[in-house]
Structure 1
Amino acid sequence: MSLERNMTYSAPPASDAYSGVLSRRVLAFIFDYIVIAILWVPAAVLLFFVGIATLGLAFFLYPVLYFIVAALYFGFSLGGSAQASPGMRAMGLRMLRTDGLRIDFLTALVHLALFWLFNSLLTPLILLVGLFTDRKRLLHDFLIGAVVVREEARY
């Protein structure tokens, strides 16, 4: 309870914090998934050697390796001190929880899983939700209690 309770963050009330967030999120998404695709290559090579060392037992991870790399990438970046993925940082964005606590590794993983679920079911509609909400929140943001703000508007 100690340190995390003392380090609270809140979304700024100004509309500047949310202007241009949706377009920046799309660009951050493209950036992040290019980086994940690049990181997938050395992970596949590493898994090949681990598979040889385990006499083929690790080869069953190949079909889900991209998801494992993406989960680690977003879990450590969103759950880290920056509270943003590298793509989000490049676009000047940051994710905050509406209850004021920091986003942890598990919350970042749940956010990613909900994104994949809703994206596979409602592909264009998840972005349409952001057009009609006051803080440009998407459906999976509502479910975990998060908001994405522009970094420069935070100060």
Structure 2
Amino acid sequence: MRHLLDEISARHFPNAPATPAQLAAFELRTGWHLDADLREFYSWCDGATLFLPRPDENFRILPLAEIQRARIAMRGKDDDSMGSPAWWTLVYLGDSDYCLVDVAPEHADRYPILDAFHESYPRKVVRIAPRFADWLERTLRGNNQLWWLPG
């Protein structure tokens, strides 16, 4: 992760680091613990915009305060019919699309990253990376493209 974080600091638009108090408050609010990748990222920067500054960005890794259950962000309803309670927003892709983090207990050591297209959510949510570090590596090498989409 360190080389990825160095690259974010040198070439992208990171926010200031989250404080230990912010990390603790986030975990208390959400009821889940950051895995090692996410803890290292948020200790380095509390969110970041990749490639282009706001408002022209394709990738905005959300600050801790903006992370919420995907079903609330995408459907406005905290109900099981609107998606898994273990899916949380992590990266805003514009136009109400997100990359999600799946914090289900079976993934407690490394949370997978999912693609959530607003028009097909929650019917179609696709796993695109086994953990945040893998997603970040591919995204930084992806030339500001949604690398997991065909064509």
Q: Same fold (TM over 0.5)?
A: no
Which has the larger share of strand? 2
Which has the larger share of helix? 1
TM-score between both structures, scaled by the size of structure 2: 0.27
TM-score between both structures, scaled by the size of structure 1: 0.27
- Structure ID, larger Rg: 1
